[in-house]
Amino acid sequence: MKVMVTGGSGFIGSAVCRHLLLDLGLDVVNIDKLTYAATEGATAMLERHPGYSFHKLDIRERGAIQRVMEKEGVDAIMHLAAESHVDRSIDGPGAFIETNILGTYALLQAARSYLDGLPEERRLLFRFHHVSTDEVFGELPLSGGLFTEATPYAPSSPYSASKASSDHLVMAWHHTFGLPVVLSNCSNNYGPFQFPEKLIPLMILNGLEGKPLPVYGTGENVRDWLHVEDHARALALVLTRGRTGQSYNIGGRNERSNLAVVQTIADLLDEARPLPSASRRELITFVGDRPGHDLRYAIDARKAEAELGWKAHYGFDTGLRKTISWYLDNEAWWRPLREARYAGQRLGANG
């Protein structure tokens, strides 16, 4: 089986490429535009593997994408390429419309044309897996409730609205044109190779350098945290075992407030690399809240667990310790990003 992964050089996409190729023995075709958030180092261990190929392409380039499909003879598409940072979508929503909506449209059309040219036996096995976010569902109250696959969409940021739009396009292409699709919506990911503007790596790196740990509002916003390796395993199961036309929610059952996450990171860094004279909790600073900041996200993953046999391996405390250790051991990866591309002062994804 040969799988095309769009956005395969990004944080989640590279974890998917590594899992498919190294753990499952599948061939991988990585399509990535290599924007600011993509780092080739995340797939460096794959580059000499005979089952791996890379094509630098924008997913909006429909003709070029289709030619790669035909040249490589792909059997499935996992679509992860997306603009994904909420703060950036507020500052500049245009890129999110272009990539997440128009890019998904172009990819769907390329897949349709490619599928039409396949022999019958290969058409029956082909799958288009669209990877999305729990943010399309809006927010939940702190008092309870979970997002299920039947939860109505209620996006509240340009990012989540663009992802909701792409979800609807994918399902429409299934119902109208018969494209064999599966869809998944995940909770907040964390783990190795995450770009330093996101909440957890930003807090780790600021904390290492003794810089402020900025938290939006009062820090009460709650997210369900999912280790990226657990997510990669789930996505492979959605692709290979999921029912076409169905969506699957993927979550870690690890709800934490943003403040609790930052406090835990501060404590773990104090254990690993103590500061000379202070606790890192003293670095926590509360700043003005983000416009339209959703209060709480939480995933009900029972459908994926029951139908696909998937369950998250990492509890949050274990996964966070492992993630902090990775950043401590891989300064050669994150230091150039932090210095050359990102000044370290912008807030991370506090949800």
The answer, yes or no, to whether residue 124 has pLDDT greater than 90, is: yes
β-pairing, 222-227 with 255-257? antiparallel
- 159 included as an active-site residue: yes
Give percent above pLDDT 70 in the chain: 97
- 121 included as an active-site residue: no
The answer, yes or no, to whether residue 345 has pLDDT greater than 50, is: no
User: What is the model's pLDDT at position 94?
Assistant: 93
User: What is the model's pLDDT at position 341?
Assistant: 58
Q: What is the mean pLDDT of residues 318-331?
A: 97
Tens digits of residue pLDDT in 97-117: 999 999 999 999 999 999 999
Tens digits of residue pLDDT in 64-101: 999 999 999 999 999 999 987 777 888 889 999 999 99
Quick one: residue 217, left, alpha or beta (phi over 0 = left, psi -120 to 50 = alpha)? left
Q: Which of 27, 58, 87, 135 is catalytic?
A: 135
Tens digits of residue pLDDT in 12-68: 999 999 999 999 999 999 999 998 777 778 999 999 999 999 999 999 999 999 999
**Cβ-contact 109, 65 below 8 angstroms:** no
**Dihedral sign (CA 85, 254, 187, 77):** positive
User: What is the model's pLDDT at position 278?
Assistant: 84
Cα 241 from Cα 224, distance rounded (Å): 24
- 134 included as an active-site residue: yes
Q: Which of 58, 83, 134, 294 is catalytic?
A: 134
Distances (CA, A) of 155 to 58, 81, 102, 133, 158: 25, 19, 18, 10, 8
Map out the domains of the chain as residue ranges: 2-190+226-253+297-314
Q: What is the DSSP letter of 274?
A: -
List strand residue ranges (DSSP E) for the chain, in order: 2-6, 27-32, 52-56, 76-79, 127-133, 181-186, 188-190, 213-216, 222-227, 247-250, 255-257, 284-287
Distances (CA, A) of 235 to 26, 50, 231: 14, 23, 6
Query: 2-190+226-253+297-314 is classed in which CATH architecture?
Result: 3-Layer(aba) Sandwich (3.40)
The answer, yes or no, to whether residue 190 has pLDDT greater than 50, is: yes
User: What is the model's pLDDT at position 35?
Assistant: 84
Q: Which of 52, 105, 159, 297 is catalytic?
A: 159
User: What is the model's pLDDT at position 351?
Assistant: 53
The answer, yes or no, to whether residue 344 has pLDDT greater than 50, is: no
The answer, yes or no, to whether residue 320 has pLDDT greater than 60, is: yes
**Cβ-contact 163, 79 below 8 angstroms:** no
Task: Specify the amino acid at residue 56.
Answer: K
Give the predicted TM-score (pTM) of the model: 0.94
Q: What is the mean pLDDT of residues 212-231?
A: 96
